[in-house]
Structure 1
Amino acid sequence: MVTALTLPLPAEATVRSLPANVEAEAAFLGAVLIDNRVIEELPTQLGAQHFFEPVHARIYERILHLLDRKAVVTPVTLRPYFEADESLKALGGVSYLARLTADGQGLLAPRELAEQIYDLALLRELISVGRGLVEGAMDTSESVEPMEQISQAEAALYKVAEGASGANEAKDFGQATRVAIQAIEKAFNSGGHISGKTTGLDSLNSKIGGLHDSDLIILAGRPGMGKTSLVTNIAYNAASRLQRDLADGITVEKSVGAATAFFSLEMSADQLATRILAEQSGISSEALRVGRISREDFQQLSFASQRLAELPLFIDDTPGLTIAALRTRARRLKRRHNIGLIVIDYLQLLQGSGRANDNRVNEISEISRGLKTLAKELSVPVIALSQLSRAVEQREDKRPMLSDLRESGSIEQDADMVWFVYREDYYARSVEPKEPTESDPPDVRAKWEEWRSLMERITGLSELIIAKQRHGATGKVRLRFEARITKFSDLAPEDMRATYGNDD
């Protein structure tokens, strides 16, 4: 049995009170009541939860509510809301509201007062996290997982660093509505088709409205379908759009682009970089790998690399990551680089916590839940690639279905969207008939001609099947795929009509 030593705490540690400055809170509230514009000039997002004195918290919350309704807030307009407040009676009743504005000292330095109130609130939150860490570390029962405790501790510290100490509190419907209106406004300003982060593909953006914060998107396909190519294109498009918007003076909040974190558990960072260079320079990946390029190609490649040097795309190619380690690294990237999109290639290469390793289905379930939790915690879209079972190959129609997701039904359950990549030319090429000679009978030549005609029509075309979408309808998006440079792009309208007619 494991025993723990009991260490005595210093005497002063048991009597020290939580860090707070009630006088600073009162002075700041007085400044706001004298001049409501003080709140508009605050350098920090000060909320009611940052006040130590509960009465001050309720007063500030009511002030924010009235200002949101475009009302002028003074001790007189606040009075009706606090006449029955029992806690305020202990401070002298509603006359306390007038006393807050008596000397007006808060107007001398309202920004500094707000910063102090905010900083002291973070210190109190740190103390709370520290207490939880101590209590957890003192638990020596066999059911305790130290690495899981470390992951939880980092998550708690991340919330403090982001000023999200009140993130787990229930939000009133007014707050939720404001967030929804902001998303609708972004979609309206973008021309009516993007309310989230852009994929860089107009046809896909129109279908899904962009990549939405807190969503887990599963992109699946059989080997050779191009799922890594597609997700690399999307990662580049989002990062490139943010870079372009910032250069044009558009803020991060108003941009539909995003700094992107790409966790590549299968390919190295330089292999991914080669793919992006091939796409942007128009030189095939194979030619780049073997160096079979001309001097003009090399110059074009050099120009492309210069353009991409400052791209906000961060690649982590650490192999064998656990879901806990991935979440830790993602939080760090969010804090340092404000990433707005996370890509994982691919889900089955992640490892669980170790508790579910005896059962692969349970481990995959833990990983998919962890990715969904990460998307919500960081409020960014997460795209995770996934393998499909071989059941696809046994069917005449090779188009994937939700039941083909490999190893766990929880992937489908946890995902907000499920996409499948399907390329008919991949399968048609594998059944190429022998090229006929002059001596072959007409039916052999006809069969080969039929195959050749089919290949001419479908080569370079792909389907992105939206098999699940919580926010909208399912369906298909037709795309062009240039295998030479591993690039997906929108089909031209004339190509769409020639290939698919009027079929949606």
Structure 2
Amino acid sequence: MTDLLTRDRSGDALKIPPHSLLSEQSVLGGLLVSPGSWHEVAGILHSDDFYRKDHRLIYAAMAAKMLAGDPVDMVTLAEELDRVGKLDDAGGHDYLAALCENVPSAANVAYYAKIIRDKATARRLIDAGYDAAGMAFNPEGHSIDEIIAIHQQKIDSLSERWTKRSSTWMDLVSEGLATLEEAENICKAGGHQGMQFGLPRFDDAIVGIYGPRLVFVCGRPSLGKTALVQQMAMHNAAKGMKCGICSLEMSQGELALRSFANRFSIDFGQLVRGDEDARKEVDRQLEAHQMAHYNIFVDTDTFSLDGIVAQISKWKRDHDIDFAVVDHIGLVEAQGFNTRNDQLGGVSRTLKKLCKSLDMPIIAVCQLSRALEKESRRPRMSDLRDSGNLEQDADGIFAVHSADEDDRKKKDVELGILKWRLGHKGWKQGFVFNGQYQRFEDPVNINY
């Protein structure tokens, strides 16, 4: 595509190709003001959809930073453009500043992006039309049927660029029968689909987590939510599954110590204190245990929503992970929201879309409201702290609850299924959170 004027059909007058300068500036300015909007437009636009060359350069630089999980603002964008030698071609610092200052509303970037896409498609349609006219005037050995076929293919590619193949109802039925057969085979083998928590009575209730499911694991502080999802990750990794963990609360070192305590039954307190005997036991266990080779990928440095999405997407692309964990969403940084409620709603919507685009589960840890402590009762969905759209977006909400108020090493806990699109709701009792080993245990049917 070029920025040149095009001739109308008569060849006499010059016409400006379809474009919307204001929409292009609004999208770029909106993304600079609110980088969290990136995933609203990433599936709509490519850099070559922009009419102006400087806009194409700016959007391409934004995409490079976003996909790398780096923050995007005026400074980092200018640095990226300067790094590739395109800062002056993109208008320099002054133009980037003007984009930020003149954006009408960052809330409408998806709408503006569709305008840009439609204008780009119109330009490609015009180009295809001129090409077809040129070949019709000068066939150069092509038959008319060949010319029609060539340009029909070009026209078809314009729609395929933005639309995936639709499915017939028979396709749906066939896919359903295949899924049913797979589930039946797994059931006959005594297992579950997808991933489990490694707590048999709870796993029997949820029958595994698979497909594009967004699941929240919630509870009050100090009830072992992180321990539960980390134990779940290791349980599934031991079966050969691959997992990515975005941990916003703990360092790699602390996560490692918790995993040693959980898998090797070594006192967590001794590990934290650097006990010599505990260290020797870790060394001995690692030599005989396969844990060091688990396919678990960990990021403890990324806090932005865009960065988390980029990291999980990269794990899926590079390692084909089976599921991801985000711990916890209350610490995720997302810009462009007026209230805490709106922010968490934006985080949950983005993670829900990510589940669908990657076709895999995401397990997200979240807090429950402090008001719950005063009422001495089991949690409800409405107790999700600053819930936003969490209840609506979630395919499953699992809760950890304990009536024990003291900070004992072992606590009797209940695991609740507050919401589950694939099964029944309810509470499962008789579990234990063993703080000494950072482990959830099912004394009725031990399998951890």
TM-score over 0.5 for the pair: yes
Cα pair distance change 1:351/1:493, threshold 3 Å:
closer
Cα pair distance change 1:270/1:205, threshold 3 Å:
same
**Contact 1:184–1:195 (CA<8 Å) still a contact in 2?**
no
Shift of 1:463: 1.0
Counterpart for residue 210 of structure 2: 212
Quick one: which of 395, 398, 403 aligns to 1:419? 398
Where does the alignment leave 5 or more consecutive residues of structure 2 unmatched?
A: 7-42, 60-98, 118-159
Counterpart for residue 184 of structure 1: 180
Question: For the residues of structure 2 that align with 1:134 and 1:328, how far apart are their CA atoms?
Answer: 27
Question: For the residues of structure 1 that align with 2:413 and 2:246, how far apart are their CA atoms?
Answer: 25
Mapping for residues 65-80 of structure 1, pairs under 5 Å: none
Counterpart for residue 221 of structure 1: 219
1:217 alignment partner, SS class: strand
2:290 alignment partner, SS class: helix
Counterpart for residue 340 of structure 1: 322
Mapping for residues 314-325 of structure 1, pairs under 5 Å: 314-321=297-304, 323-325=305-307
Mapping for residues 12-91 of structure 1, pairs under 5 Å: none
Mapping for residues 116-265 of structure 1, pairs under 5 Å: 129-132=46-49, 137=55, 142-143=103-104, 168-191=164-187, 194-242=192-240, 258-265=241-248
Amino acid at match of 2:292: A
Cα pair distance change 1:298/1:415, threshold 3 Å:
closer
**Contact 1:365–1:411 (CA<8 Å) still a contact in 2?**
yes
Cα pair distance change 1:133/1:187, threshold 3 Å:
farther
Question: For the residues of structure 1 that align with 2:317 and 2:168, how far apart are their CA atoms?
Answer: 27
1:266 alignment partner, SS class: coil
- My pick for the range that moved more, 277-286 or 335-344, is 277-286
- My pick for the range that moved more, 401-410 or 132-141, is 132-141
Shift of 1:188: 2.4
Mapping for residues 347-358 of structure 1, pairs under 5 Å: 347-352=329-334, 354-356=335-337, 358=338
Higher relative contact order (CA 8 A, sep 6+): 2
Question: For the residues of structure 2 that align with 1:410 and 1:476, how far apart are their CA atoms?
Answer: 23
Cα pair distance change 1:194/1:177, threshold 3 Å:
farther
**Contact 1:183–1:196 (CA<8 Å) still a contact in 2?**
no
**Contact 1:204–1:210 (CA<8 Å) still a contact in 2?**
no
Cα pair distance change 1:134/1:418, threshold 3 Å:
farther
Count of equivalent residues:
315
Shift of 1:290: 1.5
Counterpart for residue 368 of structure 2: 388
Q: Does 1:470 align with 2:421?
A: yes
Shift of 1:202: 2.0
Cα pair distance change 1:312/1:165, threshold 3 Å:
farther
Q: Does 1:283 align with 2:263?
A: no
Shift of 1:8: 4.7
Mapping for residues 324-473 of structure 1, pairs under 5 Å: 324-352=306-334, 354-356=335-337, 358-397=338-377, 399-425=378-404, 427=405, 429=406, 459-473=410-424
Cα pair distance change 1:263/1:468, threshold 3 Å:
same
Counterpart for residue 253 of structure 1: none
Question: For the residues of structure 2 that align with 1:261 and 1:395, how far apart are their CA atoms?
Answer: 36
Deviations along 1:91-141, one digit per CA (max 9) or x if unpaired, are xxxxxxxxxxxxxxxxxxxxxxxxxxxxxxxxxxx9x84433567946966
Amino acid at match of 1:187: A
2:400 alignment partner, SS class: strand
